[in-house]
């Protein structure tokens, strides 16, 4: 077997999941990460049952995930008038064999990072190395072009290169030099975490408002037993005219709450004071809802794209991080079947590229929040009896279609084997 390592550009959730998967199937692997020190950045994200199952197969079990997040019990959409439009149980409570988790993104990244270092060794993640491109080798390998923070240029040889370098992927830019710029549909998101008393089930994911003007919030940890307060992750969002464009995306751009609170100032309900929730965060981050037009392939000979580098998507479906985990597992299964070869990358591409690209485009249409679009069209978001506006069967059918497209339809998932069998914590 080729003892040159699989090189992974990027130590995010995607790249670290690849490293753990390669270790599980006995393939050497090194992660090249551009930042000097990985830090627990970001706010809340969701792990859908399909991804949780694969983490369990990697022996990252309920104890570890429970320490960085909370099992999600419910998904709820609420109209601007504060009335429920749709509610469904999630994870184990819906009958999945695996839970859904709402977690802190940075907490998950650090958990994966520690696990990679424990299992693969402390040299498996090399920080301060930005991958700037690649050169296919004549002898059946690939060289990653790398730059250090002080401008030194290196070439690192590997058997394959996996570009898991996120939204601004240098690997993707070389693979698809003519790709269009970042696509922005006009939505701006402000994100933060505020201590609060969890509502409803205590672990509910709530979307409140209209498709162009909404707040999404959910707890990402259990309440403190003394204060009863839990960290509530929130995203406040409006849609504006996008003709001016938006050229970049920086997840860490901090803004003052005063710059946007006026959009939500009168959002007071007897069960929630939205302005107080938005004002209560220590730090608020502004981020445009952006993605990239899908590309026809994620593979160029011994190089493949994975995670956001392959398919950055609007977070409306809460499945960007989940899909990154699934990508890593499908890549591992393809390597198990075809060896550390370009044929494995082709198989991975054929299995996922077209299907996930369709999810990227579908999420532009609001993903599961599309129900709020429908509500808006039919009654301007104001209703007394939701059944008279969108009958229950229609609401259920809409959500089932989304879950099937995003790969976490319950019967399909429960009835299928894991992508790669490993350690098992689930009931499946
Ligand atoms: C700092 C940060 C904060 C985020 N916060 C949120 C959030 O709050 N909510 C949310 O929904 N999503 C957030 N995301 C995005 C979310 O993590 C991803 O959509 C999802 O987890 C898929 O992850 P990924 O590993 O493909 O990409 P990313 O999470 O973007 O990870 C890419 C990794 O590659 C590294 N990298 C980038 N360029 C290079 C290069 N040229 N060479 C080597 N390494 C490189 C980056 O430093 C990063 O560690 C955040 C991403 C980042 C980087």
125 C-alpha vs ligand 1 centroid, how far in Å? 15
pLDDT at 426: 52
Q: 358, 296 in Cβ contact below 8 A?
A: no
107 C-alpha vs ligand 1 centroid, how far in Å? 13
Task: Return the residue whose CA atom lies nearest to atom 16 of ligand 1.
Answer: 321
User: For residues 92, 98, 103 and 107, what is the CA-based torsion angle, rounded to 10 degrees?
Assistant: 150
User: Which one is predicted more confidently, 424 or 338?
Assistant: 338
166 C-alpha vs ligand 1 centroid, how far in Å? 5
**What pLDDT digit, counting tens, does each position of 68-108 carry?**
999 999 999 998 889 999 999 999 998 999 999 999 999 99
43 Cβ below 6 A of ligand 1: yes
Pocket test for ligand 1, best of 10, 14, 44, 311 (most atoms within 8 A of CB): 10
Q: Confidence class of residue 297 from pLDDT cuts 50, 70 and 90?
A: very high
pLDDT at 379: 86
Mean pLDDT value across residues 272-280: 96
Mean pLDDT value across residues 393-403: 84
Share of the chain above pLDDT 90, in %: 74
pLDDT at 241: 81
Q: 44, 193 in Cβ contact below 8 A?
A: yes
Q: 423, 58 in Cβ contact below 8 A?
A: yes
Mean pLDDT value across residues 139-166: 96
225 C-alpha vs ligand 1 centroid, how far in Å? 33
Average of per-residue pLDDT values in the chain: 91
In this predicted structure, the answer to whether residue 368 has a pLDDT above a threshold of 90 is no
Q: Which atom belonging to ligand 1 lies closest to the Cα atom of 324?
A: 22
In this predicted structure, the answer to whether residue 148 has a pLDDT above a threshold of 50 is yes
pLDDT at 428: 43
Q: Which atom belonging to ligand 1 lies closest to the Cα atom of 285?
A: 8
- In this structure, of 123-127, 128-132, 314-318, the range with the lowest mean pLDDT score is 314-318
Question: What would the DSSP string read from start to end of 258-290?
Answer: GGTGGGTTT-EETTEEHHHHHHT-S-EEEEEEE
Q: Confidence class of residue 427 from pLDDT cuts 50, 70 and 90?
A: very low
Share of the chain above pLDDT 70, in %: 96
Q: How many CB atoms lie within 10 A of CB 292?
A: 22
């Amino acid at each position: 077997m080729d003892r040159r390592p699989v090189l992974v550009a990027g130590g995010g959730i995607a790249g670290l999941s690849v490293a753990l998967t390669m270790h599980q199937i006995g393939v050497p692997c090194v992660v090249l990460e551009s930042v000097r020190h990985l830090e627990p950045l970001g706010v809340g994200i969701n792990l859908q049952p399909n991804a949780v199952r694969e983490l369990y197969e990697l022996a990252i079990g309920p104890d570890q995930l429970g320490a960085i997040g909370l099992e999600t019990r419910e998904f709820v959409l609420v109209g601007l008038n504060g009335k429920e439009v749709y509610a469904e149980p999630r994870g184990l409570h819906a009958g999945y064999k695996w839970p859904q988790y709402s977690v802190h993104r940075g907490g998950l990244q650090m958990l994966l990072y520690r696990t990679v270092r424990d299992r693969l060794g402390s040299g498996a993640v090399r920080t301060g190395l930005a991958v700037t491109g690649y050169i296919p080798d004549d002898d059946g390998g690939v060289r990653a072009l790398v730059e250090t923070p002080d401008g030194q240029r290196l070439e690192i040889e590997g058997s394959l290169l996996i570009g898991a370098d996120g939204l601004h992927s240098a690997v993707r830019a070389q693979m698809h030099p003519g790709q269009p710029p970042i696509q922005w549909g006009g939505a701006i998101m402000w994100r933060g975490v505020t201590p609060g008393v969890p509502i409803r089930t205590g672990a509910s994911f709530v979307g409140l408002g209209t498709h162009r003007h909404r707040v999404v919030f959910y707890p990402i940890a259990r309440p403190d037993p003394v204060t009863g307060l839990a960290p509530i992750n929130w995203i406040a969002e409006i849609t504006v005219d996008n003709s001016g464009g938006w050229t970049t995306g920086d997840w860490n751009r901090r803004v003052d709450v005063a710059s946007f609170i006026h959009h939500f100032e009168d959002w007071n309900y007897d069960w929630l004071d939205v302005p107080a929730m938005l004002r209560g965060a220590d730090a608020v981050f502004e981020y445009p809802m952006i993605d990239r037009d899908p590309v026809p392939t994620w593979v160029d000979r011994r190089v493949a794209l994975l995670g956001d580098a392959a398919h950055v998507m609007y977070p409306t479906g809460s499945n960007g991080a989940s899909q990154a985990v699934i990508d890593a597992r499908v890549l591992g299964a393809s390597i198990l079947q075809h060896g550390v070869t370009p044929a494995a990358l082709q198989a991975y591409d054929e299995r996922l590229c077209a299907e996930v690209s369709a999810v990227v485009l579908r999420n532009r249409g609001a993903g599961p929040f599309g129900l709020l679009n429908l509500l808006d069209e039919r009654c301007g978001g104001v209703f007394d009896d939701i059944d008279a506006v969108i009958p229950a069967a229609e609401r259920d059918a809409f959500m089932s279609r989304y879950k099937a497209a995003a790969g976490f339809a319950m019967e399909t998932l429960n009835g299928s084997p894991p992508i790669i069998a490993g350690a098992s914590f689930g009931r499946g």
